Amino acid sequence: KKYVYFFGDGKAEGSGDMKNLLGGKGAGLAEMTNLGVPVPPGFTITTEACVEYQKLGDYPEGMWEESLKALEKLEKSINKKFGGKENPLLVSVRSGARVSMPGMMDTVLNLGLNDETVEGLASVSGSKRFAYDSYRRFIQMFSDVVLGIEHNRFEEVIKQVKKARNVEIDTQLDENDMFELVEKFKKLVSEELGRSFPQDVFEQLKLSVNAVFDSWNNQRAKTYRRLNKIPDEWGTAVNVVAMVFGNMGNDCGTGVAFTRNPSTGEKEFFGEFLINAQGEDVVAGIRTPEPISQLKGEMPEVFAQLEEVYRKLENHYKDMQDIEFTVEKNQLYMLQTRNGKRTAKAAVKIAYDMYEEGLIDKKTAVMRVAPAQVDQLLHPMIDPEEKYKAVAKGLPASPGAAVGKVVFTADDAEKMASKGEKVILVRNETSPEDIGGMDAAEGILTATGGMTSHAAVVARGMGKCCVAGCGALKIDEKSKKIVVDNETVRENDIITINGTTGEVILEKVKLIEPELSGEFAKILEWADEFRELGVRTNADTPKDSATARKFGAEGIGLCRTEHMFFEGNRIDAVREMILADDEEGRKKALYKIKPYQKEDFIGIFKAMEGLPVTIRLLDPPLHEFIPHTDEDIEKVAKYAGVPADKLKAKAEELKEFNPMLGHRGCRLGITYPEIYEMQVYAIIEAACEVKKEGVDVLPEIMIPLVGHSKELEVLRNITEKVADEVISSYNVGLKYLVGTMIELPRAALTADEIAEYADFFSFGTNDLTQTTFGLSRDDSGRFLPAYIDKKIYREDPFISIDQSGVGELVKIGVEKGRSRKKELKTGICGEHGGDPDSIYFCQKVGLNYVSCSPFRVPVARLAAAHAVL
């Protein structure tokens, strides 16, 4: 087996399509080499080697020998010797998984330096300062990443030296200072480890390779994988690359750039660079980098070359690239290229533009926009009508706006968010450890760091609003306060941040929901051309129905009627009904509610203008409607004209231990048929009246929680009797359907029998998940996280459908149902209807449509297209 792939001298053993084996970075380096783009030579140790290393606890056979061979080739290629006293070869050791995991894995730069080679470097470069600067960087990085001595310990030493020299920034330190730093660093290492800093360059290399392999399993890598659903089994590749130096003087530098704007998608070269700097200096937010456009003035030739390279790369990859480069003595080197992460807004714009430019076809354009991501476009922004004063302005790092309470640590963000609080995470700069807190926060605000800082990159990936590099903020993370413009903001104070403009506002500002942009609407139209699944919405009000239609919903898949029972003081009549002694009493109360229900349905039918509307008859346990306090009971007693004592007794009687498995769903219709009768009257009368006005109506009456075909048989009869009576009295030719929800395992298993009485099935996967797992939706939050942590469940089954269990029941339900009734319509109306992975599953089992909340409709349209393509 081949474990090592060389690249250099204009040729690479690997190529761009070998991401699985070489990792994204390795594949990119190989591809760029083959394209003739200037890349320093090096080699990639495969992800397979990493996986085997994890299993064996040691390198697989031959890997190290192959690496040494590649190293020799590398030495020949640039005519330097690894560990050589004269002209030493230095390398970087870089991780690189299949997909980029920003900041997750650690890179070691300047490897190969020791007390001897540093002198060699000094003489070939002609600069002692440069050589010792590189050495101290190496000791610091290597110690942090490989030896586990915290980065900050070294920073402290640097601070002391700077203070002693009375200087502000690193570049002001001279060669003697650098030498002193090296000595102090080495001393620090000896003290910490009880042994001296490794001088054997091969040992350095081996330890670094191990560290990269091991970093696959560090906590932040694991967290990142969990959040991004990246399998633990992939492993990372290791890239060993000859060093090029951006820190050799003012004709050197380093930068990161995007071939298009990753925030807005505009077609413009976008990025940042630092003169006389190395590697992570740009992203670390220590010095504030300059915009890339400035490079044109400072190094015109390099800039021209860079432009040529980035265009070449974008045309080659046919996607926006995120590139890293270093300039050594006016010579440009590319160190990385990958498909750039982008906001949803940028993803849409870039996909649309690239189609228009003829770079990609329609299908590709649709596939370029991730369904889970477009959720961002449906995120709130500041109401343009609002008047507010921004106290400071940072970089607009990730669009959207957020309001929340200020917190200063990722831990606090997670804690507060778990209590349902909305928080803004405020940090000087974020680091990979903060990822959990960033995920929990509504938005992220940092004081240092640029558009490509950790906070910015991660927030964009998460679709979270972020303002970065807001230098006007004096953040004191220890005493938990911010001083800005003479004002002090403390923990828990409410602020608003606007990631679209970079504004920071010290008060709560009204946010509004966004609308579909022209390009986004176009992409969704293209998606509609490909998709096979219908997309409906779950909506209970005319307003929600209208919103959903605007987003492209093709009908209502679930209109819950219980909300209609709670509105205003309708609840009094509902309670009177529930607590009544007999049918007579119930009817009396029910018919107080009926006009309201009818009104609601009229509004919804009108809003949907002839699109199908699935209305679910009353579903929740009666338990939920019972008045609990004495005060409420008094009120109902008065309202209904019955003694309070009697009501109280009745209320006691109705209490259930396990209401979700109790007197609910069609069981209500079976025991109190008058409830469903009233609802059918309201629905069909409303439908007939709207139809009479000339608006088409397509009501679909849905009976919940059926577990036995007989239930549906009985209730269908009742429904048809009422409906047909109403229709003939209005004398309109109204068509309606009667169907059921499949949300109990027994219903799925006997779907053929049930199909006899159903025109359609709608899989209620919330309840079906609950009843299949025997897991309470309302209480499982207490222990589900442990199940996810321990990987017993891969994911929360209420968020993404459990394909092998619950999904299997859906599959059985569809098959059995269709075996009895070929034309049976099937859909899904649980929360899963808006979840991309679940939508792919729905396509697979052949459902006719999915139904989800109005704001998820665009996500579902796109996901349904992805499911086909």
Is residue 221 helix, strand or coil?
helix
Q: Choosing among Mg ion, ligand ADP, none, which partner's interface includes residue 614 (Cβ < 5 to 8 Å by kind)?
A: none
Return the number of the residue (322 or 837) whose C-beta is nearest ligand ADP: 322
Whether residue 286 contacts residue 274, with contact meaning beta carbons closer than 8 Å, is answered with no
Residue 247 per-residue DSSP state: -
Report, in Å, the least distance between residue 410 CB and ligand ADP: 20
For residues 337 and 638, give the distance between their C-alpha atoms in angstroms, rounded to a whole number: 74
As a whole number of angstroms, the distance between CA 412 and CA 408 comes to: 7
54-87 as b/e, with b when 16 or more CB fall inside 10 Å? Answer: eeeeebbeebbebbeebbebbbebbebbbbbeeb
* Binding partner of 637, given ligand ADP, Mg ion, none, CB within 5-8 angstroms per partner class: none
Which of 220, 4, 5, 212 lies closest to 109, judged by CA?
A: 212
Binding site for ligand ADP (CB under 6 A): 40, 92, 94, 103, 107, 109, 241-244, 254, 279-280, 324, 326, 335-336
CB of 481 to ligand ADP, least distance (A): 32
Give the helix ranges, DSSP H, for 229-356.
281-284, 295-298, 300-317, 344-356
Rounded Cα distance, 761 and 763, in Å = 6
What is the rounded end-to-end Cα distance, in angstroms, of the chain? Answer: 35
* Residue tagged active-site, from 688, 829, 842, 852: 829
Q: Is 226 annotated as a binding residue?
A: no
x/- binding map, residues 298-327, to Mg ion, per CB under 5 A?
--------------------------x---
Q: How many residues contact Mg ion, by CB under 5 A?
A: 3
Task: Find the catalytic residue in 379, 454, 832, 866.
Answer: 454
Instruction: Select 254 or 496, whichever has its Cβ closest to ligand ADP.
Output: 254
When the beta carbons of 94 and 368 are compared against ligand ADP, the nearer one is 94
Binds Mg ion (CB under 5 A): choice among 44, 336, 398, 851: 336
Q: How far is the CB of 536 from ligand ADP (least distance, A)?
A: 43
What are 357's strand-pairing partners? none
743 marked as binding residue: yes
Partner interacting with residue 109 (select from ligand ADP, Mg ion, none; CB below 5-8 Å by kind)? ligand ADP
Ligand-binding annotation for 752, yes or no, is no
Q: Shortest approach of ligand ADP to residue 418 CB, angstroms?
A: 30
Smallest distance, Mg ion to C-beta of residue 279, A: 8
Cβ contacts of 627 within 8 Å, gap of 6 or more = 575, 633, 635, 636, 647, 651
Q: What CA–CA distance (Å, rounded) separates 380 from 240?
A: 44
847: left (phi over 0), alpha (psi -120 to 50) or beta: beta
By CB under 5 A, residue 92 contacts Mg ion: no
Least CB distance to Mg ion at residue 123 (A):
30
Tokens of 808: 């299997």
Is there a binding annotation on residue 789?
Answer: no
| Binding partner of residue 279 among ligand ADP, Mg ion, none, CB cut-off 5 to 8 Å per kind | ligand ADP
838 contact, one of Mg ion, ligand ADP, none, CB 5-8 Å limit per kind: none
Nearer to ligand ADP, 178 or 252 (CB): 252
* 684: helix, strand or coil: helix
Please check if 326 is assigned to a binding site.
Answer: no
Query: Near Mg ion by CB under 5 A, which window of 107-115, 189-197, 499-507, 555-563?
Result: 107-115
Q: 760 - beta bridge partners?
A: 825
> What's the rounded Cα separation, in Å, for the pair 715 and 359?
57
The rounded distance, in Å, linking the Cα atoms of 610 and 545 is: 12
Minimum CB–partner distance for residue 280 and ligand ADP (Å)? 5
Q: Which H, E and C letters describe 479-520, residue by residue? A: CCEEEECCEEEECCCEEEEECCCCEEECCCCCEECCCCCHHH
Please count the CA atoms within 13 angstroms of the CA of 363 that sit on its side-chain side. 4
Q: What is the DSSP letter of 623?
A: G
Out of ligand ADP, Mg ion, none, what residue 505 binds, judged by CB under 5 to 8 A for its kind, is: none
- Phi then psi for residue 489, to 5 deg, are -110, 130
* Residues 680, 722 contacting (CB under 8 angstroms): yes
Minimum distance, C-beta of residue 94 to ligand ADP, in the bound complex (Å): 3
Q: Where are the beta strands (DSSP E) in 720-824?
A: 737-742, 760-763
Residue 243 binds which of ligand ADP, Mg ion, none (CB < 5-8 A, kind-dependent): ligand ADP
Q: Of ligand ADP, Mg ion, none, which one sits near residue 92, judging by CB under 5 to 8 A according to partner kind? A: ligand ADP
Outline where 731-791 has alpha helix (H): 745-749, 751-755, 765-773, 784-789
User: Which residue's C-beta sits nearest to Mg ion?
Assistant: 336
766 in a known ligand binding site: yes
Closer by beta carbon to ligand ADP, 324 or else 572: 324
Q: Is 454 designated active site? A: yes
Nearer to Mg ion, 433 or 789 (CB): 433
Q: Determine whether the annotation assigns residue 616 to a binding site.
A: yes
Nearer to ligand ADP, 287 or 818 (CB): 287
Smaller CB distance to ligand ADP: residue 117 or 326?
326
**Beta strands at 737-742 and 698-703: parallel, antiparallel or unpaired:** parallel
Q: Which residues contribute to the annotated binding site for substrate?
A: 560, 616, 743, 764-767
Q: Which residues contribute to the annotated binding site for Mg(2+)?
A: 743, 767
**Contacts to Mg ion by CB under 5 A:** 107, 324, 336
Residues annotated as catalytic (active site), given as ranges:
454, 829
Q: Which residues contribute to the annotated binding site?
A: 560, 616, 743, 764-767
